[in-house]
Amino acid sequence: MTINEARIAEVKRMADLGYNEAQMADQFKVKPSSIRRYIALATQVSKPKILVFDIETLPMEVLVWGLYKQQIDYQNVLKEWSIVSWAAKWLFETKIMGAVVSPTDAMIRNDSHIIEGIWRLINEADIIIAHNAVKFDIRKLNARFAINGLKRPMPYRVIDTLKESQRHFGFSSHKLDSINSVLKNTLKKKTEYRLWKRCAGIDTTLPDQKKALKEMLRYNKQDVVALEDLYVEIRPWITSHPNLGLYYSETDTERCPNCGDTDLLWGGYYYTTVGRFRSFRCEKCSAIGRERTSDLKKQERNNLASPIAR
């Protein structure tokens, strides 16, 4: 515990015992305004840390004898794939973080100088959000974490916007840019495959590798903005959404499990085979939910017959 954290904890303890600001200021030899700041920090509501992120990778270079249905041995690999850039932001915050490799590191597929940055963010996060997170981003990152000697991040929950789109919607395409185009959200930055070749330094006739890497990071950061827009748009539909109510320090009020807000409009019921639960719609994000416990009285529950399991 740092000195500040210790001071905050002690101020909270004294406030709970009935000490006033002047008494505590005298005790700690600080101004009353500092005591008010400590009290505010001690009583602030902790919230879930939700990370929206995206990675870009450089392609492998391999020796092959053809283009169709090739079984390529690992010994044919000249250069492995690696992460060329990453971008991330905390949900609803304006700052977009990110990093991109140097031209030299891109040439030799070395991401060791940028990988720890995204590791630290994921290690800190309660929930992470990415498009195709389960099959691509997380597995790719885990591989590079292991290769670079980083430990497994602390536990987090995953929201994969690709999986949620496929589960709940019949869009013609589930690509991020396609969905956002239909929903009138932020679009990805336009680019082409030539950018990846420029970044990798594969073709020396292509201009300015350093400039290409900067362009890649800008492209990557724009993806994160587009991803956040998509997530917010489909959030009310995500029935398997992590329950954000678990992450707030204040537990004396009911919260929307999808966004954590307390402005719930109650009305109607949600019925299971043997239960009846009051339901609500969140006035902030429009998600719907229900109470945890049935409002059936004991005698009503006893009078219910149950179906036979298949």
Q: What is the pLDDT of residues 160-200, one digit of tens each?
A: 999 999 999 999 999 999 999 999 999 999 999 999 999 99
The pLDDT confidence band at residue 24, using thresholds 50, 70 and 90, is confident
The verdict on 77 and 209 lying in the same domain is yes
Say if 308 falls within a structural domain: no
Q: For residue 3, is pLDDT > 60?
A: no
Residue 29 lies in a domain: yes
| pTM (2 d.p.) | 0.84
- What is the rounded average pLDDT of the residues 13-21? 85
Mean pLDDT of the chain: 92
Number of neighbours of residue 202 by Cβ within 10 angstroms: 16
DSSP3 helix / strand / coil % (the chain, rounded to 5): 40, 15, 40
Residues 125 and 158 in one domain: yes
User: At a CB cut-off of 8 Å and minimum separation 6, what does 183 contact?
Assistant: 230, 233
- Which tokens is 189 given? 């930055």
Report residue 102's pLDDT band, with 50, 70 and 90 as the boundaries.
very high
For residue 13, pLDDT over 70 is answered with yes
Same domain (yes/no): 78, 219: yes
In a domain, 310, yes or no: no
> Considering the chain, what percentage of its residues have pLDDT values greater than 70?
96
Q: Confirm whether 39 is domain-assigned.
A: yes
Q: Look up the domain containing 97 and give its range.
A: 50-64+72-236
Which range, 4-18, 45-59, 139-153, 185-199, is most confident?
Answer: 139-153
* Structural domain contains residue 221: yes
For residue 2, what pLDDT is reported?
Answer: 46
The total number of structural domains that make up the chain = 3
Distance, CA of 196 to chain centre: 25
Report the amino acid identity of residue 80: E
33 and 59 housed in the same domain: no
* pLDDT the model gives residue 307: 83
The tens digit of pLDDT for each residue in 248-296 reads: 877 778 999 999 999 999 999 999 988 999 999 999 999 999 999 999 9
The pLDDT of residue 1 is above 60: no
Return all residues near 242 (Cβ < 8 A) that are at least 6 apart: 48, 126, 127, 157, 159, 257
Residue listed under structure tokens 């932001």: 89
One domain, residues 226 and 284: no
Residues 164 and 34 in one domain: no
